[in-house]
Structure 1
Amino acid sequence: MIGNSFRGHLAKVAAVVLTIAVVFAWLGGGRQEVLAAASPDPLDQQVVSSGLGTGAMFDDTAQSFTAGKSGYLYDIELHLFRFDSAGAGQLKIEIFAGETLSGSALGSVTLDYLDIPLSPAPNMTLITFDGIPITEGQQYTIRTTSASQGGMWLGTGNSYSGGRFYSSSHWPPDWKNEYDAYFRTYVADAVRTPDTQLTVAAQANATYGDVVVFSAQLMNGARAFANQRVEFQLNGVPVGSAATNAQGRAELSYGMDKPPGDLLLEARYNGTSFYSMAADDTTITVAKRPITVTVGGASRPYGSGNPAFTSQVTGLASWDAASSLGTLSYTTNASASSSVGTYAVQASGYHSPNYAITYVQGALTITKAPLTAEADSTSRQYGLSNPVLTGTLTGLRNGDAITVTYSTTTSPSSPVGAYAITPALADTGNALHNYELKLKEGQLTVTKAPLTVTASNDERQYGAVNPLLSGAIVGLRNGDTFSVAYSTTAAAGSGVGSYAITPNVTDRDNKLKNYEVQSVPGTLTVTKAPLTVTAHNKTREYGNPNPVFTSTSVGLRNGDTFP
């Protein structure tokens, strides 16, 4: 298998940097394996494959052989292959007379590294010379030279008896390997015709950016002419070359980077000092490459500006960038004030003679904007009117006419406790459908009203009955009524002094829980009672003792007695 020399944009996309390893296959005893001959001439000398052995690296090797017949040496076969890891270069193959490398070569062929199969190479490579006269029984030497050091594959079988293998570091022949190169020679009885014919295969229409395969058939008389280099041109400009394979066919893969239109494809074989030049041409029609510009989907909230739109370009030739087509612009009928929904986004602006451009519109989705109505919390005392309820409306856009009111179920008569304040929206502009609404209730706290119950101060004399106790209640709301009883620890027998008067509220209607009650006691003052003691008049005669004196007490109370 003969590799091609790639040019054009295919090389930009898929070029692989390679180093060459030129390899002779070495043979030993054991299994006999004879590959089919590739030359039309009779097979003369060969080494029969018997398996592969170990390898060594050389950049200059040689194998001698003894001609088995006289005639003309046009074709030899060598088992060559290269490794993945190498660089560009050439392999030179020469034939020398005798078991020597001195003097001028009888013939020479140069191969590009890419013309040599990758390892492992299952087949031999055919090398064609211009026709070297050789004589039966004479020795000749095949020499391979590479600027880059290569890998030599050595066999483990029997040696070839008609020649020897030599390495570049041990020439002249003071050392030889015990194995021999895997090779074949073919000897023609007569001189071949120098005439060549080249036919370019009919080429299907191509599309810009595609990889196309140019093919040409090279013949030498009635035989396929292998291992020759054919150059290809488009409109007179070289685009690459390829070596012919065993069937004489040269194929070049090429990334079509020429503008659409008709192109002249020409194949040319330049010939040698022996073989004539040949050329042929055909016409290729290159079509525009279809590409698709698809606008990506995007979204934004209602009331915001449109985002930066993007797109994806599919179908571009691998060497082209979208930026080379111009600058894309995008249009949509969605504005900041557009309602929630889906709107088309159209791209335009690319221009290229190499492409047929199709635009696929994208979609801009306008989503609902967040809108929050939050009522403020507040408080009031039981029995009072509700305060003015307030709150905050956050998130309005585009000056939409949406207002908010706040309400609660409480009235002045509502008992102490916590009550929800609920926001409600009025959508006079019919814009509320553009919002994702969130209502946050506030809280109206009804607190206890102050209620003061004050007992009135009073007084009485000692021993008298307590007066009717009274007082005042201040702070009643909502027409609430309570019974208040006033009590004191003072009794009729209580001595002079001050005694507390305590108010006691009776909550018959269960309303007292709505008040913060302050009880203010009064004072009952017990004063001294009036007491009159009147001494009785008495008489006695002079000289007599005084009589028993007596008196009358008026005002005694509580059964009090005095001696």
Structure 2
Amino acid sequence: MIARPPFTVAVAGATDGADAGMQVKYTSTPSGGTGPFSYLWDDNTTGATDFRTYSSPGSVRAYVTVTDLGSSGGSGGSSTTASSYSNYVTVIGSTTTAVSAPTAVYGQAVTLTATVSPNSPATGSPTGSVTFEDGGVTIGSGTLSGGTATASVTLPAGTHAITAVYGGATYWNGSSGNTSETITPAPLTIAATSQTQTYGFGGTSAALGTTGFTTAGLLGSDSVSGVTLSTNAPTSTSGNYTAGAYTLTPSAASGSGLSNYTITYTTGSLTVARKSAPITGVSADDKVYDGTTAATLDTDDASVSGAVSGDAVAVAGGSGTFATANVGTGITVTATGFGLSGADAANYTLSGQPSGLSADITPATLDITADDQEITYGDDVPDLTYEVDGLVGDDSVSGAPATTATSTSNAGDYAITQGTLTASSNYTLTFTAGTLTIDTAELEIVADDQEMTYGDPVPGLTYEAYGLVNGDAVSGTPTTTAASTSNVGDYSIDQGTLTASSNYDVEYIPGTLTIDPATC
């Protein structure tokens, strides 16, 4: 018998196709020997190749026995056998199905689910993990358990194209599946914070600021950095919001993450308070005493201090009152009744009436003129009267004028002086003196008629004086041209040396001396 040369066998396996449950093709290749060869696989398949289909992944083995049936030199001999096995990883395909979650509201966690299953006819559950992507951006991942993976994610509002990507595992090919997820915007309330401002702060949206608001409903790190505030308040002549109560409306919010919200704007209130403003430039005028406390105020330079430039507002009305009606300097004057006028006056409130005012009240001129008087020598001095010009109201003068003349004063002119006449310190008194004239008294001297006989001596000549006062007397004697020798007849009795003081205006009435015939 001739011995056959030795040989070896190599077994190789390769997948046959791309789907799960695919075949593995095993090939037995002898090396050496003479051949022909016979093959017997462990699944009783004969031939150099063996096709096997697996339903579960794993490391598989194929075993083959190869017999060299050839001979050498044409003579037979015993066959030589060799055997070998191959280790090969069977890769099973998979199908990934992404299941969309119910529609959610922004801020709510969404559970994304992916089911990974083997391609038929393979069975079993793939292992590994699934990555969830939103537009190519990884948003979460989950580990497969029983062929299902989940991931809890929070998504912005909108419709999202979700891809579940299974990257494969040992014995498993990867796969992916698509779904969509809709996230509805969350409600967000932005409420304007009520403001109280003082007139003159502005008249545009910028003056209202951008941060006067509150929010309800913001989630996570989302924020509102500012809003546009507007109002229904009208503007004044200078372009400022007028005083009053108005609505404050927010809009056009800016910030981060706001596209995820349905925003409801809630109004607030804008209260524009009147601006407090004093009146300046008012002064009080001096006056001449008039018996009243009324004061005249000079408002030529009056203005509303602090008025907003461009406003139509001015000082209106007003009156003043002295603290006393009497003469004095630096008398306090109280101002009342001042107000404001003009188209924009309603935007202001007076902080008070003008203050710190004072003025002088100077004395009034009072003229007193004594009335001239006239009496006759010997008469009593009459009441001395006068005229007053310049007295105010119920004011009066006191006292009386005076004169040096008396009932015994000689005839002539005497001054009527101020005497004790006086008025209050509210007057500057000017006195004009009068004149008391004492006229001469009327003195009538009447010579007594006389009668004598011819040849008798002339009798004493007598008279009567009518009008003498103050114990005055007449001096001198009357005279006649008759003598004891004068012929019978009537002779005048003349004034002779009869006289009186210059206080009298003497009227002499002659008498008659009658000389009768003598008796023989």
Q: TM-score range by the shorter chain?
A: 0.3 to 0.5
State which structure, 1 or 2, has the greater radius of gyration over its C-alpha atoms: 2
Higher RCO (CA-CA < 8 Å; seq separation 6+): 1
Q: TM-score, normalised by structure 2?
A: 0.41
